[in-house]
C-alpha cells in the first residue's frame, strides 16, 4: 500500500490547478434566494516525469439539458490520483460546487466522486487567495489581470445564456484561461524549486498555441 502524505507546494510532483464555472439563475424578484448552477469543472495537471514536467488540460462542461453525471464522470478521471491542489478561494467556490454537484447525481456515483475528491486532496492544497483576504479576496480575474495575466471572463448574463442554450465554448475558454493563470501563480509561489516547471509550462503553452488551441 502506498502511503500518501501532505507535501508543501515546493516539493509536489503532481500539481492540480482547479477551478469551476458557477453561475446563478435569474431571480424572479429581489427578495428571492439565488439558485446556483455549475456549468463546468476544469483541472490543469502538472506532473514531474524524470527531469521534465508534463501538462494536461481537462475541462468538463454541462449545459442545462445535460445530465450532471457527465461532469462527475469526466472530473473523476483526474481526481483519482493524489495531487497538490491549487486554486483561488477553494473553500468558498470550487470545493462547495463539487460537493453540490455530488448531491445532484445517483448516490453510488456521488459516493465514488467524494472518494475520488478525497484522494485528490490527500497531498494537500494551496489557496492562492489566503494572502489576499481569503474569503474577502478580490475576484480572481481582476487580481490576475492586475498582474498582467489575462483571464477571459463571462458576465453573469453571458454565462447563464451559454448554459441555457448549450453554446458552451466560451465557458471552456474562460475555464482554460483561469487554470493557466492559477498554475502560473502557483509555480511562482513555489519559488526556485519549481523553476523547471515554469519553463516547461511555457513550452507546453507555446506548443498548444502552435496546434491552434485557444489558450
Percentage, residues of the chain above pLDDT 70 = 94
Helix axes 169-189, 195-210, angle to 10 degrees: 160
Distance CA 153, CA 190 (A): 26
Q: Which three cell numbers, joined as nine digits, stand for 151? A: 483571464
Point out which residues pair with 7 in neighbouring strands.
none
Band the pLDDT of 7: cuts 50, 70, 90.
confident
User: pLDDT tens digits, residue range 37-72?
Assistant: 999 999 999 999 999 999 999 999 999 999 889 888
Burial letters 98-115, b for 16+ CB under 10 A, else e: beebbeebeeebbebbee
CATH superfamily of 12-25+35-208: Ribonuclease H-like superfamily/Ribonuclease H (3.30.420.10)
pLDDT digits (tens, 9 = 90+) for 85-121: 999 999 999 999 999 898 889 999 999 999 999 999 9
Residue 122 DSSP symbol? G
Q: In this structure, what C-alpha cell is assigned to residue 66?
A: 445535460
Q: How is the chain split among helix, strand and coil, in percent rounded to 5?
A: 50, 20, 30
* Burial per residue of 141-180, b for 16 or more beta-carbon CB atoms within 10 angstroms, e otherwise: bebbeeeebebebbeeeebbebbbeeebebbbebbbbbbb
pLDDT, the chain, mean: 90
| Alpha helix (H) residue ranges in the chain | 69-79, 94-102, 107-120, 140-146, 156-165, 169-189, 195-210
Taking the CA atoms of 156, 162, 168 and 173 in sequence, report the sign of the dihedral they define.
negative
The pLDDT tens digits of the residues spanning 23-40 come to: 988 766 555 567 889 999
| CA distance linking residue 38 with residue 212, whole number of Å | 27
Contacts of 27 (CB under 8 A, 6+ apart): 34
Distance between CA 76 and CA 105 in Å, rounded? 13
What residues contact 77, with CB distance under 8 A and at least 6 apart?
Answer: 58
Amino acid at each position: 500500500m502506498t502511503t500518501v502524505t501532505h507535501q508543501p507546494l515546493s516539493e509536489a510532483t503532481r500539481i492540480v490547478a482547479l477551478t469551476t464555472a458557477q453561475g446563478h439563475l435569474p431571480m424572479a424578484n429581489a427578495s428571492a434566494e439565488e439558485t446556483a448552477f455549475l456549468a463546468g469543472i476544469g483541472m490543469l495537471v502538472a506532473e514531474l516525469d524524470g527531469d521534465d514536467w508534463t501538462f494536461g488540460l481537462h475541462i468538463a462542461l454541462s449545459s442545462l439539458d445535460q445530465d450532471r453525471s457527465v461532469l462527475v464522470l469526466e472530473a473523476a478521471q483526474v481526481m483519482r490520483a493524489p495531487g497538490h491542489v491549487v486554486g483561488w478561494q477553494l473553500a468558498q467556490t470550487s470545493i462547495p460546487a463539487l460537493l453540490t454537484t455530488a448531491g445532484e447525481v445517483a448516490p453510488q456515483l456521488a459516493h465514488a466522486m467524494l472518494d475520488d475528491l478525497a484522494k485528490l486532496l490527500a497531498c494537500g492544497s494551496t489557496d492562492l487567495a489566503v494572502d489576499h483576504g481569503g474569503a474577502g479576496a478580490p475576484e480572481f480575474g481582476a487580481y490576475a489581470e492586475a498582474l498582467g495575466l489575462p483571464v477571459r471572463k463571462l458576465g453573469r448574463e453571458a454565462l447563464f445564456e451559454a448554459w441555457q442554450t448549450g453554446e458552451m465554448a466560451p465557458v471552456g475558454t474562460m475555464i482554460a484561461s483561469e487554470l493557466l493563470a492559477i498554475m502560473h501563480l502557483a509555480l511562482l509561489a513555489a519559488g526556485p524549486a519549481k523553476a523547471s516547471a515554469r519553463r516547461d509550462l511555457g513550452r507546453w503553452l507555446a506548443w498548444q498555441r502552435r496546434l491552434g488551441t485557444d489558450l
